[in-house]
Amino acid sequence: MPDKTIEEGRIQRLNTREVRGGDYILYWMQQSQRAEFNPALEYAIQRANEAKLPLLVGFGLMDGYPEANVRHYRFMLEGLQDTQRALARRKIPLVVQRGAPDAVALKLARHAALVVCDRGYLRHQKQWRMTVADMAACPVIQVEGDVVVPVRAASGKAEFAARTLRPKIHRLWSAYLVDLAPTPLKSDSLGLGVKGLDLENLDAVLAKLDLDRSVPPVSHRFKGGTGEAKRLLRKFFTEHLPVYQESRPHPETTHVSHMSKYLHFGQVSPVAVALAAREAKAADPQRESFLEELIVRRELAQNFAEYTPHYDSFECLPEWARKTLDKHRSDERYHQYTPEQLERSGTHDPYWNAAMREMRYTGYLHNAMRMYWGKKILEWSSTPEHGHRTALALNNRYFLDGRDANSYTNIGWVFGLHDRPWGEREIFGTVRYMSSGGLERKADMEAYLAKVDTLVAEAKAAGVRFEGD
């Protein structure tokens, strides 16, 4: 049997077919887009060694991924290019073929003795894996490697809040926060001859795809790939983790890890990040604050998506939040803005406008400003449902880490998800409110405005421009 370094709780068989003769073992890589600290990859290598077969890694690159644009695709392809080169050094080919992920996986599975896949939590990601498991003629085994504690091991239901999930995670995480050494592949697989896209020229690949090109890439600011993620992480541990806890309310600072986008595309392992944080030189409260965000808060979002089929709709909100927002839907909105006005930073609020500019031109926004940004969209929208749709659409359009479980959960939080009732006020009812005065009491907002001006100037100098600039 395969090496036991892969925890059994991460492994799930998706069909009951028997292993058959084949030309190779296939690892269908989709979520875990990396060549190291990847349980699905290491499991596939172990099975290939056991069967004395080569290993093929395949990826399906579809046109028009839901709500994605060329900004997201460029970052992802930079990561896949990095991963392809790293796998080649391990004598393993990564073949990227154009097409729907499930269709590409089934095509490559025709000659496979076994298919190993990684795990996704969104509806379409689950459906891809179900389709492959139903239609492949060989076994399909899923290995969950993009959370610390496997979602269903942590909890069998949608959790009410972080405080209800936290003890469940803490009871289990020591069993999963373990190192994962690479397994050498015994069969050099580079000569399999399966053709794919040439990732050495990303501009040419992007030019062929049918994509939304209205949101430009931000590679000058954030480049995709495991190597870049590790560089940023080293910088974070050295320069920023020692002041992480106290700097979190301060959007004018840069004391953040920037890991969310790399975790989104599976370019870095959350287990690897957590283990590195444990070894970093920082006081325990700083380290614990970072691990709370990395593990408990992030995996609360995976729990939400896993157990909430309508995670992207207004109806996903808790009943108390929907009721209180409905009670106040007729309250006067002193400011109302269309999605187009919001997108162009056309509000009366300089802090909100700066936040929108930062996310448009960099693909990122400090978490303190993300919360404020979302709360104001609720306040300035004609109905709470309209506000929810608008916030989610802008979030997914501009953020590099948009369109995942964390996105749906974070926008839900703006409207009361995973929170509790607060004091009642106009428009919000008992949903938590945020004000510009609160920002000013906690942070140097003039410094934040100056920071955004600098970031936008740098982006424009690097060629990041929108229609009308």
Q: Report the pLDDT value the prediction gives residue 283, as an integer from 0 to 100.
A: 86
- The DSSP string of 370-389 is HHHHHHHHHHHSSSHHHHHH
Q: Report the pLDDT value the prediction gives residue 4, as an integer from 0 to 100.
A: 58
Across the range 206-231, mean pLDDT stands at 97
The answer to whether the Cα torsion of 378, 381, 383, 386 is positive or negative is: negative
Q: Report the pLDDT value the prediction gives residue 306, as an integer from 0 to 100.
A: 98
Helix, strand, coil percentages, rounded to 5, for the chain: 50, 5, 40
> What is each CA distance from 454 to 347, 355, 400, 449, in whole angstroms?
20, 13, 20, 9
Is 212's pLDDT higher than 90? Answer: yes
Q: pLDDT, tens digit, for every residue of 294-344?
A: 999 999 999 999 999 999 999 999 999 999 999 999 999 999 999 999 999
Residue showing tokens 């803490």? 170
Q: Where are the domains of the chain?
A: 314-460
Tell me if 103 sits within 8 A of 246, measured CB to CB: no
- The DSSP string of 87-99 is HHHTT--EEEEES
At residue 114, φ and ψ (nearest 5 deg) are: -160, 145
> What is each CA distance from 203 to 183, 217, 261, 458, in whole angstroms?
33, 11, 21, 22
Q: Report the pLDDT value the prediction gives residue 1, as an integer from 0 to 100.
A: 42
Across the range 277-289, mean pLDDT stands at 92
SS3 37: coil
Q: Report the pLDDT value the prediction gives residue 2, as an integer from 0 to 100.
A: 43
The answer to whether the Cα torsion of 422, 442, 290, 376 is positive or negative is: positive
Residue showing tokens 């920023």? 240
Alpha carbons 91 and 16: distance in angstroms, whole number: 30
> What is each CA distance from 18 to 11, 21, 113, 138, 436, in whole angstroms?
17, 10, 9, 6, 61
Q: Report the pLDDT value the prediction gives residue 468, as an integer from 0 to 100.
A: 80
Q: Report the pLDDT value the prediction gives residue 357, as an integer from 0 to 100.
A: 98
Alpha carbons 399 and 365: distance in angstroms, whole number: 8
Residue 75 in tokens: 């970052």
Residue showing tokens 């610390």? 148
User: How is residue 142 annotated by DSSP?
Assistant: E
Q: What is the mean pLDDT of the chain?
A: 97
Number of residues that make up the chain: 469
Q: What confidence category does residue 467 fall into, taking pLDDT thresholds of 50, 70 and 90? A: confident
Alpha carbons 328 and 414: distance in angstroms, whole number: 16
**% of residues, the chain, pLDDT over 70:** 99
Q: What ranges in 136-223 are assigned the alpha helix state H?
A: 151-154, 162-176, 202-208
Q: Report the pLDDT value the prediction gives residue 325, as an integer from 0 to 100.
A: 98
Across the range 439-466, mean pLDDT stands at 97
**% of residues, the chain, pLDDT over 90:** 97
> What is each CA distance from 399 to 107, 226, 306, 372, 396, in whole angstroms?
32, 19, 22, 16, 6
SS3 224: coil
User: How is residue 195 annotated by DSSP?
Assistant: -
- The DSSP string of 405-426 is HHHHHHHHHHTTTT------BT
Q: Which range has the worst mean pLDDT, 98-102, 245-249, 375-379? A: 245-249
Tell me if 152 sits within 8 A of 306, measured CB to CB: yes
Q: pLDDT, tens digit, for every residue of 384-437?
A: 999 999 999 999 999 999 999 999 999 999 999 999 999 999 999 999 999 999
Residue 276 in tokens: 């590195």
Buried b (16+ CB within 10 A) or exposed e, 303-331: bbbbbbeebbebebbbeebbebbeebeee
* DSSP run (H or E) holding 266: none
Reading across the β-sheet that carries 140-143, which strands appear in turn? 11-13, 140-143, 112-117, 24-28, 55-61, 94-98
SS3 13: strand
* β 140-143/11-13 pair status: antiparallel
In angstroms and rounded to an integer, the radius of gyration of the C-alpha atoms of the chain is: 23
Alpha carbons 33 and 27: distance in angstroms, whole number: 11
* DSSP run (H or E) holding 217: none
Q: pLDDT, tens digit, for every residue of 18-51?
A: 989 999 999 999 999 999 999 999 999 999 999 9
Calculate helix-pair angle for 123-135, 101-109, nearest 10 degrees.
20
Question: Of 85, 39, 33, 36, which Cα lies nearest the Cα of 58?
Answer: 33
If one looks up domain 314-460 in CATH, what number appears? 1.10.579.10
